[in-house]
Amino acid sequence: MSRKTLSVIVMMMILSIGVNAQSGNDSKGHGYLFVAPGAATNGGGSSASLHIGGGGEGLVYKGLGVGGEIGWLGPTRALNDGFGVLSANGSYHFRNATASGKVVPFVTGGWSLAFRSGSAHGGNFGGGINYWFKERIGLRLEVRDHVFNNFTSTHFLGFRVGLAFR
C-alpha cells in the first residue's frame, strides 16, 4: 500500500471520529474499520479475496446517511497484487429497529473507484448491522458487493467484520 493511500485512510479515520458529538440513538454518525474475507467471482469460478479498510458515515436526515471509505482489496494468496478501493455511498440506518437501539440494521450503496496503476469506476451495494455493545463502541457485520466497469462479469463479494465507533 502506498504512503499516499495510507495517509488518506488515516485522515478518514481521524475525521470520522469527530463526526458525532452526540451519543446513543441520537448519534449523527460513526466511523468504522473492517476486514472482509470474501471471493472474486466471475461466473466461471471464484478465488479467495481479502478487503481491509475504514470509513465513516454521517446521518443527514433521520436514518438517511452519506459516507465514504477507502481500503485495499486483493487475492488472499498475494494481497500485494490487489488494488485500492475508494467509495462514496448513501445509506439508510433503521435506528428504531430495536427498543434498546443497540442493534441498528442498515443498507448501503454507491459509487466505487478501483485504483492501482490505472483506475476503474463501478458501484457497490450491501447491508448489515451495527451492534453497539457500549455507548461509543460497536461490532459491524456486513455483506458488500463491488462491481467495476473494466470487469463487469466479476463480483468482489466480501463478508465484513469490523469495529464501529462514535
Question: Does the predicted model carry a pTM greater than 0.85?
Answer: no
Burial of 43 (0-12, 13-18, 19+ CB in 10 A): exposed
Q: Is residue 28 a part of any domain in this protein?
A: yes
Name the domain count of the chain.
1
Residue 32 CA, chain-centre distance (Å), reads 8
What is the structure's pLDDT at 27? 77
pLDDT at 147: 96
Q: Where are the beta strands (DSSP E) in the chain?
A: 29-41, 46-61, 64-75, 83-93, 103-115, 119-131, 137-148, 151-165
Assign 79 to helix, strand or coil.
Answer: helix
Residue 69 falls within a domain, yes or no?
Answer: yes
For residue 112, tell me if it sits in a domain.
yes
Position 13 in a domain: yes
Quote the CA–CA distance of 160 and 166 in Å, as a whole number. 19
Q: Answer whether residue 163 is part of any domain.
A: no
Q: Is residue 161 part of a domain?
A: no
What pLDDT score was predicted for residue 8? 53
Grid-cell match 478487503, residue found? 51
8 Å CB contact between 11 and 31: no
Structural domain includes residue 59: yes
Identify the pLDDT of residue 57.
97
Sign, CA torsion 40/41/45/46: positive
CATH number for position 91: 2.40.160
- 3 state DSSP class of 161: strand
Is residue 130 within 8 A of residue 161, CB to CB? The reply is: no
The pLDDT, as a whole number, for residue 153 is 86
Distance CA 10, CA 1 (A): 13
**Residue at 16 is within a domain:** yes
> Each residue's pLDDT tens digit in the chain (166 positions)?
555 555 555 555 555 444 444 445 567 999 999 999 999 998 889 999 999 999 999 999 999 999 999 999 999 999 999 999 999 999 999 998 888 999 999 999 999 999 999 999 999 999 999 999 999 999 999 999 999 998 778 999 999 999 999 9
Question: Residue 63 sits in which domain range?
Answer: 3-133+140-153
